Every structure is written in C-alpha cells, then in structure tokens.
C-alpha cells in the first residue's frame, strides 16, 4: 500500500509516500453508559509515518486519551479502521491485541506506574518477561535501556530513591525494552517541574532522532508541543488542526538556558521527604 498525505498544503511536508505506521480511517469511539452514550471520537482519519514526532493537543475531554488507547491497542474503535504497520487491528481479539502491544508499542504515562518494591532494573525488565525473552537476555536488554535514558548507575535503586524525572526515565526505559516501533506517551511531563519536563523531552527527541522511534505524545502545554515535529489538535472528538511545528525547539539547546539541575534536584529531594 502506498499511502499519501498532504498536510495543509505546506511545501516542507507536502507529500509522504511511505506506508504509514499508523493509519486511522474514520474512527469513532462511543462509550455506552446505559442511559447516555458518550461520543468520544467522531470520525478521526489520520496517518503517522515512521520517525515522526507528533504532539496530540486539545482541551480536557476532547478525546486525546481515547485516541491513545485506540492507538495503543488498549481499546478498539466502535466504528472505522485502524491499521498498525499496515495491518488492520480494529477487529483483533484481546489476546492478539496484547501481543501486538507488547511487541510494537511502548507506553509512558503521567503517573510513572512503576512497581514501588521493585528496583529500576526489575521494573524495566518486566515487559521482557511477558515477551518470553530468555533470562540472560532480559537483564542485558534492561541495562541497555536504562543506559539509553542515562540511568545506568541507578539500576538498583527503588522508585522512592529516585526523583520524579528519574522515575519517568525508568518508565521510558521500560517502554523501550522490547524495542517498540512506536512510543505512546500520555502527558508524560504532567507531573514534572519545567526543567525536568525539558529533560524528558530531550530524551524523547534523542530517541526519535538517533533511534528513529516514532513518538506520539499527548500534552495540553504549548511549550511542550514545541518540541514535537507535528501538532494535532482535537476538539469534541474531532481532529481540528494538523500542522508541522514551525519553530521547533531542541531540548538540548533549551536546557542550558534553564536553572541548573543541582538546584532543582535538591528541591525535589526535599519535597520527596
Ligand atoms: P481527554 O484525554 O482529551 O481529556 P478523553 O479521551 O479522556 O479526553 O475523554 C473524551 C470523552 O469521553 C469525555 O467526555 C470523557 O468523559 C469520555 N470518556 C472517556 N473515557 C470514558 C469511559 N471509559 N467511559 C465513559 N466515558 C468516557
Ligand atoms: Mg486524557
């Protein structure tokens, strides 16, 4: 299949001919609450290609998380089609969806969702167990993933011994450990101070550039969206805007302009006590 997309007719991203890693075709999602039906997505069509970095924006209740749940194979559309890597996944069983999720997708959430009595290394290893990877290989992969987020030296720390930013980096390592094609992040910086948020964006930008990971990130903050390459805006369950980020920020350039890490971390550690 050769997919074509034209974004707002802007010259720099006129036509993309590669097959999309994500393609939604008129996707609807209705939550049936008995007496009421909530029409959370109302006919969403879009394509996302390999190595894109997409920010999903919109007010609370506009359908962002519903979209992410569908993209992440955590939920199925009520109507319409979802093609992941060219394969129609809208009608797969829960077991099949779980397999795809484990192999192709990595997830990062606002609440880091780490197991508290488990070391960073063991947290990162967890998805490799479900993927049936051999024990020797698991630890190697988990260490490798921790190194990619700059936490090689924190492998044996527990979440309570790590700052918020470090915990989110462990969560990113966990999302990377099965070598997914797509990283889905729902408000990953929502619980972090602004410098730490930019550090997380730095990691996501590096993974996107160096590892050619496709990133789809939900944020309601314009400042954070500026680090993406493309912004989608949802309103009332519909895609209202889809455009390239014109003045894209590079986190590694922004970081030196922000207050130092030490000051921030000292504060964070104080808060954690
Ligand atoms: P956002 O992430 O943009 O805040 P959501 O996708 O969470 O938006 O929600 C979109 C709409 O769907 C909202 O009206 C919300 O109340 C509703 N909704 C979300 N999840 C559920 C659910 N599991 N059951 C019923 N309604 C839901
Ligand atoms: Mg949400």
d(CA 65, CA 247) in angstroms, rounded, equals 26
- Tens of pLDDT, residue by residue over 98-139, are 989 988 999 999 999 999 999 999 999 999 998 889 999 999
- Residue from 29, 66, 187 whose mutation best tests the ligand 1 pocket (most atoms within 8 A of CB): 66
- Residue from 27, 39, 44, 63 whose mutation best tests the ligand 1 pocket (most atoms within 8 A of CB): 63
pLDDT at 197: 96
Mean pLDDT for 176-195 is 95
Question: Are the C-beta atoms of 230 and 245 separated by less than 8 Å?
Answer: yes
Mean pLDDT for 74-92 is 93
Pocket of ligand 1 (CB under 6 A): 31, 33, 38, 40, 58, 60-66
d(CA 75, CA 55) in angstroms, rounded, equals 20
pTM value surpassing 0.75: yes
Alpha helices for 83-189 (secondary structure H) = 94-104, 120-130, 135-148, 164-176
* Cα 165 to ligand 1 centre (Å): 27
* Cα 137 to ligand 2 centre (Å): 35
d(CA 201, CA 206) in angstroms, rounded, equals 8
Say which DSSP state 81 is in: E
Q: Of all atoms in ligand 1, which is nearest to the CA of residue 186?
A: 2
Residue whose token pair is 């990133």 = 215
d(CA 271, CA 146) in angstroms, rounded, equals 25
- Domains, the chain, in order of start with CATH, read 22-272 (3.40.50.300)
Residue whose token pair is 């972090």 = 192
Helices (H) and strands (E) in the chain, counts: 9, 10
Using alpha carbons, list the distances in angstroms from residue 144 to 178, 206, 270: 11, 15, 30
């Amino acid at each position: 299949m050769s997919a074509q997309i034209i974004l707002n007719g802007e010259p720099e991203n006129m036509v993309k001919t590669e097959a999309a890693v994500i393609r939604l075709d008129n996707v609807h999602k209705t939550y049936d609450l008995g007496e009421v039906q909530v029409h959370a997505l109302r006919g969403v069509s879009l394509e996302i290609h390999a190595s894109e970095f997409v920010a999903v924006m919109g007010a609370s209740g506009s359908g962002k998380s519903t979209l992410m749940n569908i993209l992440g194979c955590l939920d199925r559309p009520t109507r319409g089609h979802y093609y992941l890597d060219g394969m129609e996944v809208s009608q797969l069983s829960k077991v099949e969806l779980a397999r795809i999720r484990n192999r192709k997708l990595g997830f990062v959430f606002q609440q880091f969702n780490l197991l508290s009595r488990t070391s960073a290394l063991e947290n990162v290893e967890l998805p490799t167990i479900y993927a049936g990877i051999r024990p020797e290989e698991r630890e190697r992969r988990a260490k490798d993933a921790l190194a990619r987020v700059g936490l090689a030296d924190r492998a044996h720390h527990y979440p309570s011994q790590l700052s918020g930013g470090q915990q989110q980096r462990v969560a990113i390592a966990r999302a990377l450990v099965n070598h997914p094609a797509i990283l889905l992040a729902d408000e990953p910086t929502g619980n972090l101070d602004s410098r730490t948020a930019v550090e997380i964006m730095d990691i996501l930008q590096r993974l996107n550039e160096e590892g050619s990971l496709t990133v789809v990130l939900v944020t309601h903050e314009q400042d954070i969206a500026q680090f993406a390459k493309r912004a989608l805006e949802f309103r009332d369950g519909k895609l209202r805007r889809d455009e390239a980020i014109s003045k894209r920020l590079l986190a590694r350039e922004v970081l030196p302009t922000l207050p130092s890490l030490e000051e921030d971390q000292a504060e964070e550690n104080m808060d954690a006590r």
